[in-house]
Each structure stands twice: as structure tokens, then as C-alpha cells.
A and B are shown apart, each in its own frame.
Chain A
């Protein structure tokens, strides 16, 4: 499997512009600015089949295509570096080890929609990443890749690094825009979509770090080569962050369509300490959990995960062995969502706290008959009834844990204690 996103991360001083350029960095940007029209660039990215790597999987070229060409308003591109999905740490690796691929990708995206101001919105907690990116932006300015008239081709582009201040919801694109406008990170009602009414009401594209970091390679090697990797509907490579009960945790780059079981057992070394696999969350904590017996035939791409009743999401793979109490895991995740709900929509603001409270009660051995039905009912009432996808992200895993591991939840209630683990 060819490394596209991780091609630079192990090189010495990979975060510096010297190392990046010696490995072919900024050649794609030069080609774009000197030789390609924005329209041709958008067609090229459409042809590559690249889909958004932040979690939703929306085709990137199509997203760019929605931006009106003739708008009198300024246009903006925002790189979403607010990586906060539990179990996901791929963007942090790229930020710290290959910041120039993100900067180059962001400028390419800006050129595609004729934007002259771009932002990188990085989550506040990533202080080190912000320092690395800040230095890389200074290097890019000094080298003439950012600023006025880059490559002498008459294109101006300014890039602003903006730090968040601690809120998961700012990873949702409209919540991010509200935050970048200087307010609370409250998501906005769609439509209108950011492509026409985004930052300050102007046409805006928000793309994830990994999506943007894929662009230089695609431009340089050609869309056809990228589209030759992966499956019919999931093209290219994807980064997966692997954590939990696994021998070799870390960030892996995988050709879309790779067998999931093989990945866990061979590439990641399987479950340590002679324990059996019990469950795995494949796409970050927002995505439904899979039982070990559900992994047969599942491949690592958008369609196969969906067919298995879950989603690829951010590619945050959380592995749980047989000693894991699933009630406690469900409670932990419900607590995350209760803590991070932004409070704008009642179903989510109230429902997330109710679910957390009931899961906690069951986990402590104080659950009563009907508690699980109550959680399922609350989850069902949140699902689809909120402004942004956060509501679904909180509702889906809660219901999945109960449905997939029902006997364990029932036993917890009946015996008033955990029957699985001492942890």
C-alpha cells in the first residue's frame, strides 16, 4: 500500500519547509497556480473521488463546486483542525509532523474557489501543534507561497491560524464558523449551507485537515492514480487512529476497502495479554459499536461500515477486549456527550444528560426495570431532532451499546453490580 498522507511524517525534521520541499513539497501548488484554472482543479478533485475525511464523507470537489463563482462577497476557506472526536488522533500527527502538507492543501482549496483569505481553526488544547503550524506558516510566507502574487501568477492568499478554546462542537462546520465569528460555537440551521452563506454570511468551504493534506499528492500524481486506489465509492487511502486494547496502537494509513479483521489482527497486532476481542468502535465515539462476531467480511470503507450498521466516521478505532464492561463504556461515552452538548437544542441539551444519568445509575448497580427502554426512547427522541449532527452522534452509540450487548446490561440491572470486569 502506498503512503500518501504519511509519506513525510517519518522524515528527519519533516515539519520544516526545507525537508518538505526536498520531498517535492509545494510543487503541486505551483502547478495549480501557474497551469490550472479553478474550474479544472475542481474537476480534477471531483474525478479523484476524494470524500471529506472529517467524518461525513461528502465529496470534496462537489462541495467546492457549490460555491458561487460570481458572488460579490469575499470567499473563505477554513481548514478544520479541531480534532476532538474521542479515539481520533490522526490530524494531530499531520499537524505536528507534516504541517506544510496542510498549508499547501489549504492554499490549493482556496485557489479552487477563488478565495483570498483562509483560516486554520485548530483546537485550543493543541498548543504544540499551533506552535508548529504557526512556524510553518511563517516559513511559507517567507518562501513566497503565502501573500501577494504567489509564483508571480497574480494570485493573492492570506492564511490565518486561529485557536479554539475548548469545545467539541466547534468541530461541526457551522459551530466552527460561529466560533470563528467570535461567538459561542453554536451550530447554524442548514440550509443555507456554508458554500453560499458561511463565515460572516459569505461563501465558505470548511475541509478537514486530512482532506486538505491529500490534495498536493492528488494534484501532482493525478486524479486517476488516486481513484485507482480503494473501492468503487470510497477512493484513495484513509487514516485510522487505533487505540484501546490493541498491541500496536497508533495512526495507520490504509487503502480503502482493506479487510477490517485482518487490519486489527495483523497490522495492529491483535488484542494483547491473550484476551479475546469483545467489541470495536470503528469511526470515533459517535459511531455505533460492533461486536467481535460482526466483523467478518467488513472492509474499511464508507459503504462496508454502513452495511454493517455503523459508519466510518473519523476512522477512530477503539478496541475493547473481553474484560471491558460495556455498561461502563456506554456511560463513559454518554458522559462525553452530556459534557459537550452546546445547549442550543432541547432534545440534545436535556436528552444527553438524561442518558448519562440513567447509564450511570445502571453502571452503579442502581438501575431499575425499564431503564434501558427509557434510554432507547430518549435516544430515539434526540435522533434527527436537532440542528446539527451532534444529537445523532450522541444518540447512535447509546442505542447501539444497549442493542449489541443487551444481556450484559440486563445482568447489571438484575444483579445490581458488574458481572464482567473488576476495572
Chain B
């Protein structure tokens, strides 16, 4: 069964494409739609997006592989992204990452066996005044400590 958008997503797709002066400019919002609907952007999803966007498949691969927020593999329910850049590093970000690794029993880039968490390190998220910090899916968690990071993760089911 080939992938395709649900009728509801198709309406969103038409609305988004209609807003842009050129269809291809809607590539990122459409890839976000696809990622939301299909969970990740595997080969089938990429081929589907290429077809509905009227561009070569290779062009969509080029875009998907370029950006960090477009996932080509399934990820956990809570994508836990710890900032590692200098201001957060000065505030002890490495200790936060170590505490999360110990708590979840996974390394960077891995997902817990129950599919709950995927752990990544990311570059600066514009939250340097409240370092160290992490982003879990859409939400920022700031002024982290080795103690409170465990409590935060416990609340995420």
C-alpha cells in the first residue's frame, strides 16, 4: 500500500501550496505535513512528496538530508535534544547529557526500547541566558540541573 495523505491532510496541502508564489517554495511545510502524518520521511514518503510537488525524487532527498529536523528514520515519542554549544557547555551541559544517558540507559542517537525517548545533542537553540537547556519535541526546558532533568523526563509518558 503506497503512502498518501489523508483527505484532511490533502486539504491542508492544497491550502499551503496555494499561499506560495511558486509551488516548490512550499517544500518545507509540505515535508513537515508528511512527517507529521507518516511519522518519518522514509523512501516511500520522499517519493510521494516528490510526486505531489512535481519535482525529482533526488531533489527531495537533497532537502531531507540537509535539515536536522527532518527524520529519515522513526524516532521516539519524546525527542530529547540537549544543547551542547559553548554557552550551555560553560553551564555544565555535559553533566546534563551524562545524567540523561545514565537514567535512560541509551547513548546519543539511540532510542529507548519502549520507544519513549530518543536522545540527541544539538547546537545552540537561542536559550543561552537560561543554560543549560534541552528541547523535547516542541518544548524548551531551561535552567536544567542533574536533579530536575530526571524529574522532567519522568513526567513525559
Q: Are B86 and A329 in contact (CB under 8 A)?
A: yes
B59 touches A183 (CB 8 A): yes
Instruction: Indicate if the CB atoms of A318 and B128 lie closer than 8 Å.
Output: yes
Q: With A160-B19, A182-B24, A184-B62 given, is the CB distance from A249 to B128 under 8 Å? A: yes
Question: If the complex has contacts A91-B126, A242-B129, are A332 and B27 also in contact, measured as CB distance less than 8 A?
Answer: no
Stretch at the interface among A5-13, A81-89, A224-232: A81-89
- Which residues of A, 306-341, contact B by the 8 Å Cβ criterion? 316, 318, 320, 324, 328-329, 332-333, 335-336, 339-340
- What residues of A have a CB within 8 angstroms of the CB of B26 in the complex? 182
CB closest residue in chain B, given A92: B126
What chain B residues lie within 8 Å of A179 (beta carbons)?
28
Q: Is B125 an interface residue (CB 8 A)?
A: yes
Considering the complex, give the chain B residue whose CB is closest to the CB of A242: B129
Indicate if the CB atoms of A89 and B22 lie closer than 8 Å.
Answer: no
Q: In the complex, A250 Cα to B143 Cα: how many Å?
A: 13
- Asked if residues A336 and B124 are in contact (CB atoms below 8 Å), the reply is yes
Which chain B residue shows the least CB distance to A167? B67
Closest Cβ–Cβ distance, residue A132 to chain B (whole Å): 12
* Those of B100-155 within 8 Å (CB) of chain A: 122-131, 135, 138-140
Does any Cβ of B come within 8 Å of A243's Cβ? yes
- Bound together, the chains give a CA A241 to CA B129 distance in angstroms of 7
A162 to B20, CA, bound (A): 10
- State the interface size on chain B (CB cutoff 8 A): 44
* Nearest-neighbor residue (CB-CB) of B53 within chain A: A182
Give the tally of cross-chain contacts (CB within 8 A). 143
Q: Across the interface, do B129 and A164 meet the contact criterion of CB distance under 8 Å?
A: no
For the complex, is A238 an interface residue (Cβ under 8 Å from B)? Answer: no
Residue in B19, B27, B70 whose CB lies within 8 Å of A183: B27
- Check if A332 sits within 8 Å of B63, measured CB to CB: no
Is residue B68 within 8 Å, beta carbon to beta carbon, of the partner chain?
Answer: yes
Q: Which residues of B contact A416 (CB under 8 A)?
A: none
- Is A125 located at the chain interface by the 8 A CB criterion? yes
A74 at the interface (CB under 8 A from B): yes
Q: Which residue of B lies closest to A90 (CB)?
A: B126
Q: Judge if B48 is at the interface, Cβ distance under 8 Å.
A: no
How far is A243 from B128 in the complex, measured between Cα atoms in Å?
6
Chain A residues closer than 8 Å to B126, beta-carbon distance: 83-84, 88-89, 91-92, 123, 125-126
- Chain A residues packing against B (C-beta within 8 Å): 74, 83-89, 91-92, 117, 123-128, 160, 162-168, 179-185, 200, 241-245, 249-251, 281, 285, 316, 318, 320, 324, 328-329, 332-333, 335-336, 339-340, 342, 423
The 10 A-B residue pairs with the shortest CB-CB distance in the complex, in nearest-first order: A166-B68, A182-B27, A243-B128, A165-B67, A182-B24, A127-B138, A166-B69, A243-B87, A249-B129, A86-B124
Binding site for A on B (CB under 8 A): 19-22, 24-29, 31-32, 53, 55, 59, 62-63, 66-70, 84-87, 89-92, 122-131, 135, 138-140
